[in-house]
């Protein structure tokens, strides 16, 4: 029996379609036949499979067409149909576990661009097979999952990258180098924002619908708690639903906050506090504010500035930081979907989304030493380069899991702060042990299911429906580390 699939979990329809795809006649050269002593020559092509291909996954795969695209997996074959047509020789699947079982000896690397809640399970099982992985942002849905991918990548020594492509850009390079050269002084406050969401949020659970025949709804749900289908969940709109996505913060913070995380050499936050518009049980709010506090750090040798305690504040849903004194009249703070302001004791550094177009509020043009590697190819091609190098001689990608994992913990900590805001206090976080230290055993939490807002005779009325009170500590622990649905399991955390 398969190590990934329980007996009788594959439908006859899945089997027939997969068997038909297997007759396409595509010749595959197994990785062990060409990989020599643990690496490939640049001229050797990787065999790559994609999981979650209908959206951003298709873009990623098109950037990898120097290699062999041999397998495609998506739960929605209508959404993925254009990708199937683009790669007619690739085998088609609806269940990544079946693809791993049948093609495990044939592929070298996996591109993961599913909904957020399945990033970890798809990537983690690939890593334990010794496969290189490229995972779209946010890296994972939870803190625990981020820690797991970080440790698995270290243990199995595979090439990894998160899909925050701005990390390969010059803006992140310059911002990091300016901070290190003490161009703006010591930073104690950072503000960041995005103009997202641009998908539905702030909604109660919708009515049940029958899923189309082209969608395997059970496999889309995957490890999450089962819920009936509605067309608003997928494709793409899953970002706004807590069980599947991480809202505007999870979607965009991996792009916007990357120069902050690497430039200020951040680690785990120690405090978190969130607030938002109406907080509902199922859907992320329309707008959020999150503050994360990071303790004083010991600077690396290249850092000429001090690294005191710093507070990072995030805004989304149309909210922006106040424009600091000296801001140029008429200049839009929003650059390609968001921006950051690092408030230093000597100057202020401003950059757009993806770290684009950094500049100093004073107008100075820094000439700092360049120590970051410049990447002349695409973010995806740089990962392919890393895949072909041996672990002993590999140059890491711009966003390897050794960095992307801890960074993503910062991002999903913001989600935790929002979802726990009704505790009405600043949360204290023990990053090493992945737990809150000031949520007591007797605290409870409840959340609005529906607000039932109506206007009658000109008067607004609310008849709010609430969830039953539950243990706040238990609720928080489930958000930190999900309890997966039967039939879905992560590999164990390496010691």
Residue (of 300, 299, 303) closest to 369 by Cα position: 303
Q: Quickly state the pLDDT bin for 3 (edges 50, 70, 90).
A: low
Does the pLDDT of residue 43 top 90, yes or no?
Answer: no
For 12-166+378-400, CATH number out of 3.20.20.70, 3.90.76.10, 3.40.50.720, 3.40.50.360 equals: 3.40.50.720
Does the pLDDT of residue 21 top 80, yes or no?
Answer: no
Which residue ranges make up each domain of the chain?
A: 12-166+378-400, 168-207+216-360
pLDDT tens sequence across 266-293: 999 999 999 999 999 999 999 999 999 9
pLDDT value at residue 276: 98
Could you give the C-alpha distances from 288 to 193, 196, 282, 350, in angstroms and in order? Answer: 10, 10, 15, 21
For residue 46, the SS3 value is: coil
**34-43, 60-69, 103-112, 131-140: lowest mean pLDDT where?**
34-43
Indicate the CATH number for domain 168-207+216-360: 3.30.360
CA 462 to chain centre: 35
Backbone angles phi, psi at 400, to 5 degrees: -70, 160
pLDDT tens sequence across 166-179: 999 999 999 999 99
Q: Alpha-carbon distance 220 to 234, whole Å?
A: 9
Beta bridge partners of 69: 48
Does the pLDDT of residue 5 top 60, yes or no?
Answer: no
Instruction: Please check whether residue 2 is in contact with residue 15, taking contact to mean a CB–CB distance below 8 angstroms.
Output: no
Beta bridge partners of 135: 112, 162
Find all residues with CB under 8 Å of 360, minimum gap 6, and list them: 178, 183, 184, 347, 348, 349, 350, 366
pLDDT tens sequence across 332-389: 999 999 999 999 999 999 999 999 999 999 999 999 999 999 999 999 999 999 999 9
pLDDT tens sequence across 302-311: 999 999 999 9
Could you give the C-alpha distances from 365 to 272, 330, 353, 360, in angstroms and in order? Answer: 35, 21, 20, 7
pLDDT value at residue 37: 40
Does the pLDDT of residue 11 top 80, yes or no?
Answer: no
Q: Alpha-carbon distance 146 to 148, whole Å?
A: 5
Does the pLDDT of residue 223 top 70, yes or no?
Answer: yes
Find all residues with CB under 8 Å of 13, minimum gap 6, and list them: none
- Rg of the chain over Cα atoms, rounded to whole angstroms, equals 23
Q: Alpha-carbon distance 444 to 184, whole Å?
A: 44
Backbone angles phi, psi at 456, to 5 degrees: -125, 125
CA 167 to chain centre: 14
Whats the size of the chain, residue-wise?
495
Q: pLDDT averaged over the chain?
A: 93
Residue (of 40, 133, 111) closest to 393 by Cα position: 40
Q: Quickly state the pLDDT bin for 42 (edges 50, 70, 90).
A: confident
Q: Quickly state the pLDDT bin for 38 (edges 50, 70, 90).
A: low
Q: Quickly state the pLDDT bin for 41 (edges 50, 70, 90).
A: confident
Does the pLDDT of residue 52 top 60, yes or no?
Answer: yes
Does the pLDDT of residue 160 top 80, yes or no?
Answer: yes
């Amino acid at each position: 029996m398969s190590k990934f699939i329980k007996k009788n979990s594959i439908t006859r329809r899945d089997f027939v379609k997969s068997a038909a795809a297997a007759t396409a006649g595509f010749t595959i050269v197994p990785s062990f036949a060409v990989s020599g002593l643990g690496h490939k020559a640049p001229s050797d092509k990787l065999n790559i499979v994609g999981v979650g291909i209908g959206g951003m996954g298709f873009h990623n795969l098109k950037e990898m067409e120097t290699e062999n695209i041999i397998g495609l997996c998506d739960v929605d074959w209508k959404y993925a149909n254009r990708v199937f047509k683009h790669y007619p020789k690739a085998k088609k699947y609806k269940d990544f576990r079946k693809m791993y079982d049948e093609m495990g000896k044939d592929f070298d690397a996996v591109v993961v661009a599913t909904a957020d809640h399945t990033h970890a399970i798809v990537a983690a099982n690939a890593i334990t097979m010794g496969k290189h992985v490229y995972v779209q942002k946010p890296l994972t849905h939870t803190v625990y999952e981020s820690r797991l991918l970080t440790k698995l990548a270290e243990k199995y020594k595979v090439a990894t990258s998160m899909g925050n492509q701005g990390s390969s850009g010059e803006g992140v390079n310059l911002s990091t180098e300016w901070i290190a050269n003490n161009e703006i002084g010591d930073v104690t406050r950072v503000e960041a924002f995005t103009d997202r969401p641009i998908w539905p949020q702030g909604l109660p659970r919708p009515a049940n619908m029958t899923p189309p025949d082209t969608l395997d709804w059970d496999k889309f749900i995957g490890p999450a708690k089962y819920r009936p289908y509605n067309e608003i969940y997928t494709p793409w709109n899953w970002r706004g639903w807590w069980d599947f996505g991480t809202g505007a913060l999870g979607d965009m913070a991996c792009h916007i906050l990357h120069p902050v995380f690497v430039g200020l050499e951040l680690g785990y936050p120690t405090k978190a506090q969130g607030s938002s518009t109406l907080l509902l049980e199922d859907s992320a709010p329309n707008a959020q504010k999150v503050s994360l506090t990071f303790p004083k750090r010991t600077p690396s040798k290249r850092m000429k500035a001090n690294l005191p305690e710093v507070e990072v504040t995030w805004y989304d849903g149309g909210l922006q930081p106040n424009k600091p004194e000296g801001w140029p009249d008429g200049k839009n703070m929003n650059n390609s979907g968001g921006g950051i302001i690092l408030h230093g004791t000597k100057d202020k550094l401003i950059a757009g989304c993806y770290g684009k177009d950094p500049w100093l509020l004073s107008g100075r043009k820094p000439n700092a030493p360049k120590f970051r590697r410049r990447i002349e190819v695409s973010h995806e091609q740089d990962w392919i380069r890393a895949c072909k190098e041996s672990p002993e001689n590999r140059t890491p990608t711009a966003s390897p899991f050794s960095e992307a994992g801890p960074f993503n913990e910062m991002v999903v900590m913001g989600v935790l702060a929002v979802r726990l805001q009704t505790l009405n206090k600043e949360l204290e976080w023990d990053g090493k042990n992945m737990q809150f230290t000031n949520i007591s055993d007797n605290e409870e939490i409840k959340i609005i299911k529906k607000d039932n807002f109506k206007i009658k005779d000109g008067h607004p009325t609310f008849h709010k429906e609430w969830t039953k009170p539950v243990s706040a500590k238990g609720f928080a622990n489930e958000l930190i580390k999900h309890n997966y649905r039967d039939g879905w399991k992560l590999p164990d955390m390496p010691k």
